[in-house]
Structure 1
Amino acid sequence: MATVVVISIEGEQGLWVADLDARSVVPLDPPQTGALKTVTDLRASGAIVTKGVNVAVVVKSAAAASSGHYDG
């Protein structure tokens, strides 16, 4: 099972890598080639790309998520 997720949030620049095992989130340098470059190009044009993710929601804070609230 994969434990690393590349994420971005609408309206924000850049990509992030969330390593669930390491419990860390760090910025990802913009990819220059490959499939992830294609994905970032699609994102720049407004496309939403998901693969292997079955839940993704934006919340205002960790406290909001913990209490069951999300922006929807």
Structure 2
Amino acid sequence: MARVVVIRIADEEGLWVIDLDARSVVPLDPPNAGGLKAVTDHRASGKIVTKGVDVAVVVKSAEAAFSGHYDG
């Protein structure tokens, strides 16, 4: 099972790579080719692209998430 996720938050620039095993989050340079480039191109045209993720929400802070708060 994959333990790495690439995300982008709506209305913000840039991609992020989350490596769950390494417990790290690092910025990802915009891809120049390949499948991820196609995904970012679709996203740039306003499409939302998801694959293999069944929950993804933005919360105001880590503290809010750990407290179980979610402003939906």
TM-score by length of 1: 0.95
Aligned length: 72
| Counterpart position of 1:15 | 15
The answer to whether the Cα contact below 8 Å between 1:57 and 1:71 also exists between their aligned partners in 2 is no
Unmatched 5+ residue regions in structure 2? none
Q: What are the ranges of 5 or more consecutive residues in structure 1 without an aligned counterpart?
A: none
* Whole-Å separation in 2 of the counterparts to 1:56 and 1:71: 13
Tell me the alpha carbon deviations over residues 11-66 of structure 1, each in whole angstroms, 9 at most, x when there is no partner. 00010000000100000011001110011011111111000001000001001101
Alpha-carbon distance between aligned partners in 2 of 1:43 and 1:23, rounded to the nearest angstrom:
26
RMSD of aligned alpha carbons? 0.7
2:29 aligned with 1:29, yes or no?
A: yes
| TM-score, normalised via structure 2 length | 0.95
Q: Residue in 2 aligned with 1:46?
A: 46
